[in-house]
Chains A and B, each alone.
Chain A
Amino acid sequence: MDRFVCVRLVQANAMDLTLFQFDYDLTFAAFFLNADRTLYGRYGSRSDRKDATRDMSLEGFRKAMEAALEMHKKYPANKELLAGKQPRAPRFKSPEEYPSLRGKYKPNLDYDGKVVQSCMHCHQVRDAERRFFRDDRKPIPDDVFYPWPMPQAVGLALDPKEKAKIKEVTAGSTAEKAGFKRGDEIVTLEGQPILSIADVQWVLQNADEPATLKAEIRRGRRNLSLTLALDKDWRRHTDITWRTTTWDLRRMGLGGLVLEDSTADERRNAKVPDTELALRVKYVGEYGEHAVAKRAGFKVEDVIVSVEGQTLRRTESELLGYLIQNKLPGERVAVTVLRSGERVNLELPMQ
């Protein structure tokens, strides 16, 4: 314990965005750093709505801490090696500077008054960043729309009990084509020493589209160099449905609907082939801007089978991406749903 100075932060109010850049949908995120603000690494990853700790473990956190202590011992001789891990220049230096948050929060929590209402949540930073573009009627950049890709986006599943050890490589994926194998340990990525899954995500978050990423991996007693070739749309394969901030995307692009891909049985019963769109309406928003789809006539259990005449199979994440990145607030999108076996044509307003 006494080898670190431990700081617990509970608010996003006045967060220093020039330093703390992480996946704002997390409920637990850790940084290891020097007193001169040099970052050694990050910890904290998530890919599931209900299970916030599926991608984390105390064992993995312990190993990341140990690696951070080693980096600290070697500092500042290793400063150049850490250059790629340092934060990028943010759009705004604190959340309160985003237009949608301006004037709404004070820098400190109001412990003597309405303390709960005075607290800005981390996810509000991501919401504000997306609204910065949407409210200006501009497309939301892919790195903001699909933030902090998990390694699964390139075909890698990492063991949460290790720093960055591969427990599975998806067949046919970018990672498999690059030569990654189960059991490999990612030592560096783009020259950055990796001490956690979050560190891998940091590299992916800052990668271009397309991009070529250099990895040094440890396989048994050997170190090998591998190259990941990411295509132009690589981020769009990521699932964003688990994220708290997707709630606001559903307002923008789906009028408050929550969708789920139909099961094989449901597809068979509805006579929809596996290659075609069949997104079942799981939930219809009830209030305000989240009730826009309800007011447009959508109902729970409707199955969306066509959007603007397109019937190619898409996930909810992919449909959200298509609608929000291609349609502006105020536009209306033609949607066909299956309802009790009948095709019903509706119009979905964009916000």
Chain B
Amino acid sequence: MRNGDDPAMNRVLVVLAGLLSLTCLKAAEDRRERVLNDRKEVENIGHWIYNDLAQGFTEAARTRKPMLVVFRCIP
């Protein structure tokens, strides 16, 4: 299987596309709401450790997986 056809990889990309499009979907919300909702929504998506780098390092060391760390402003 080519990596590009990997369903796991595709799920990552879908999640990232979702992260990038949150701006548009939430344009009408006030900034505070958006910040609070962003946390809930990303945590609900699953797979992401939210705003806790130390936990990420611990998990990467435990699982021996590489880390993907994304800085994304809450628009």
Write out, one digit per residue, whether chain A residues 60-92 have a CB within 8 A of any chain B CB (1) or not (0): 011001101101100000000000000000000
Q: Which chain B residues (1-55) contact chain A, with CB distance < 8 Å?
A: 3-4, 8-9, 11-13, 15-17, 19-20, 31-32, 35-36, 38-39, 42, 47-53, 55
Closest residue of chain A to B57 (Cβ to Cβ) is A35
Contact A121 B3 (CB under 8 A): no
Contact A8 B36 (CB under 8 A): no
Contact B12 A4 (CB under 8 A): yes
The minimal Cβ–Cβ distance linking B12 to chain A, given in whole angstroms, is 5
A30 at the binding interface (Cβ < 8 Å): yes
Contact A32 B73 (CB under 8 A): no
The minimal Cβ–Cβ distance linking B2 to chain A, given in whole angstroms, is 9
Q: How many residues of B contact A (CB 8 A)?
A: 45
Write out, one digit per residue, whether chain A residues 141-166 have a CB within 8 A of any chain B CB (1) or not (0): 00000000000000000000000000
Given A65-B9, A69-B3, check contact A4 B31 (CB 8 Å). Answer: no
**CB < 8 Å: which of B3, B31, B72 contacts A8?**
B72
Write out, one digit per residue, whether chain A residues 104-124 have a CB within 8 A of any chain B CB (1) or not (0): 000001010001100101100
How far apart are the CA atoms of A36 and B68 in the complex, in Å? 13
Task: List, in ascending order, chain A residues with CB within 8 A of B74's CB.
Answer: 10, 119
How far apart are the CA atoms of A2 and B12 in the complex, in Å? 9
How far apart are the CA atoms of A33 and B68 in the complex, in Å? 7
Given A27-B75, A33-B69, check contact A8 B51 (CB 8 Å). Answer: yes
Contact A72 B66 (CB under 8 A): yes
Task: List, in ascending order, chain A residues with CB within 8 A of B52's CB.
Answer: 7
Closest residue of chain B to A64 (Cβ to Cβ) is B68
A50 at the binding interface (Cβ < 8 Å): no
Interface of B toward A, CB cutoff 8 Å: 3-4, 8-9, 11-13, 15-17, 19-20, 31-32, 35-36, 38-39, 42, 47-53, 55-57, 59-61, 63-75
Supply 10 A–B pairs (Cβ within 8 Å), ascending by A.
Answer: A4-B68, A6-B68, A10-B72, A20-B71, A28-B71, A28-B72, A32-B67, A58-B17, A65-B9, A121-B73
In order of increasing CB-CB distance, the 10 nearest A-B pairs are: A35-B60, A7-B56, A72-B66, A35-B61, A4-B68, A5-B60, A31-B69, A1-B11, A66-B3, A29-B71
* Given A16-B53, A33-B66, A62-B9, 14 extra CB contacts under 8 A: A6-B47, A6-B56, A6-B67, A7-B55, A9-B72, A20-B69, A27-B73, A28-B70, A28-B72, A31-B70, A61-B16, A62-B4, A109-B35, A115-B35
